[in-house]
Amino acid sequence: MKQVQKPKKPLIFYYLIAVVVLVLLNFLLVPNITGRNITEVDYGTFLNMVEEKKVATVELDGDSIYFTDKNDNPNYYETTTFEDPDLVNRLDEAGCEFGRVAQEPVNPILSFLLSWVLPLLIFWGLGQLLAKQMMKKMGGGGGGNPFMQFGKSNAKVYVQSTTGITFNDVAGEDEAKELLTEIVDFLHNPQKYQEIGAVCPKGALLVGPPGTGKTLLAKAVAGEAHVPFFSISGSEFVEMFVGMGASKVRDLFKQANEKAPCIVFIDEIDTIGKKRDGQGFSGNDEREQTLNQLLTEMDGYDASKGVVILAATNRPDSLDPALLRPGRFDRRIPVELPDLKGREEILKVHARKVRLSDNVDFNAIARAASGASGAELANMVNEAALRAVRENRKYVTQADLEESIETVIAGYQKKNRVLSNKEKLIVSYHEIGHALVAALQTNSAPVTKITIIPRTSGALGYTMQVEEDEKNLMSKEELENKIATLTGGRCAEELIFHSITTGASNDIEQATKLSRAMITRYGMSDKFGMVALETQSNPYLGGDSSLSCSPETAAEIDDMVVGTVKKSYNKAMQLLKDNIGKLHELAKYLYEKETITGEEFMNILSRQEYAGEENTREDSQE
């Protein structure tokens, strides 16, 4: 979509014009008295020249003295007079010609016009120029007071464009596109809906996590429908002055009705659409007035004209129920994180303009980027292209894309941070502890990469696991195995060095969070069973959780969380003790190589049959 551009000139341009005009007036209307170049001197210099008889003529003009010297080409001087009663005698003794300048009478009407009327006319003209520019900037007409334009909507208007965004530019959201296709069809062919008596949905609310393409979908709808597209953020309605937000809503819908059929897109609508809780100033809160006006306008406009309201938010639970009822936002369209197939399609869309080598496997990249949003996938493709440029290559390889995943997830490699030999050895055992516990358990994701190169995110190393297939559900056994894998790093440190470090802080946080969720949210405890003990808000923004139980029950939950983590810790410790030989061998190999692939890890692990392997797997299954 191509945005309509408006000509703009900075205010400093008009101030410079005013200064130039005033300077010209100063030179044209206030000319020099003598019309000649005059040198200013002090009164003492003037008296010395008089005593030395170097002064030819003197003219007294009020508080100023103008005089010339006795050169062939006389120079003109100016000085200020003082209370000197002997001045006339001194000039007589020096033989100077002197007299007073005759003052021409000034017309009082002309003086008034030049002093008062002319400057006012100049600034009035400049004010008119500024008014026109302000009205253009605010979207107003050619007349009227610019300060009455504060209630005008400042929505960005995009016009029909053959090179705009369409559904072909959106991938991984097939369900959302299908729901929006009907709106596009109505804008194209409203007659077939009107014949049967159907009415187009007044509004559609796009909900989902950040970066999933809600704004992109809205622009694609306008691109497919070839209609004007109004785009405005919810925060732009909120003003310092009460009533300005409501006025902007009115003006926005007025413009939309004038350009119907069209699409109005309000991004981050939760800014003005929050639930009314009665905590405003006696119901006169600015946000509440803006919301009330929005509700009124959505009820008042005629949907048959083809005005469709699209809105996006990642906090649907905070919206006012009156905004979500049928007749306002009729459809709620989820725009979730893409699945495996969706991630692969998104990568292909963003890789259209990137030169790729023949060995790029988008499916492998999509599996490794599990849980990534569309924006993150776009960033991965761009990071891969930047890496190829840094290495002076003309195309992007599979290695570039794999490294870009790690860059987005864990940050860039910190090449200037060098670990001591002891720290490097501890990190090697720590990461192998994670990988070994994961590999020795069933129902665990395969290990694909292990590294001990520090990253800008603060991680000194990490172990990457990638699921072979897309998973939407996790069993209790899989969650317990995951907690055991998280504790594997600390177990390896304690087993080998008989000491523990701060390197497991993130592992501890994730293990605790996961074990608590098993009890309070997933109902995986024998004592509480299927009882909800925790409520979660803002699921699309990380999910803030709060316990909804008594203090006694909360204390019991804490004890159960500790017990679950300890059980998993003991299980991981036993697995490492039973396979301590492989722990040493793999840690030594990682220490030397710094980065190993999952294939190298599995080759070393299965190099020889070691005692207790079958027993270990049976125990892990139990």
Active-site residues: which are they? 431
The β-bridge partners of 55 are 69
Helices (H) and strands (E) in the chain, counts: 22, 17
Within 10 Å of residue 458's Cβ, how many Cβ atoms?
11
Strand, helix or coil for residue 64 = strand
Instruction: Return d(Cα 463, Cα 596) in angstroms, integer.
Output: 10
The β-bridge partners of 312 are 206, 267
Instruction: Return d(Cα 601, Cα 582) in angstroms, integer.
Output: 10
Within 10 Å of residue 527's Cβ, how many Cβ atoms?
10
Chain center to CA of 180 = 26
Long-range contacts from 47-54, C-beta under 8 angstroms, 24+ separation: 47/90, 50/90, 50/91, 50/94, 50/96, 51/90, 51/94, 53/94, 53/95
Instruction: Return d(Cα 508, Cα 510) in angstroms, integer.
Output: 6
Measured torsion, CA atoms of residues 480, 483, 489, 494, in degrees rounded to the nearest 10:
-70
Question: DSSP letter string over 295-340?
Answer: HHHHHHS-GGG-EEEEEEES-GGGB-HHHHSTTTS-EEEE-----H
Instruction: Return d(Cα 309, Cα 205) in angstroms, integer.
Output: 8
Question: DSSP letter string over 104-130?
Answer: PPPPHHHHHIIIIIHHHHHHHHHHHHH
Strand, helix or coil for residue 87 = helix
- Which tokens go with 229? 């597209």
- Which tokens go with 384? 């891969």
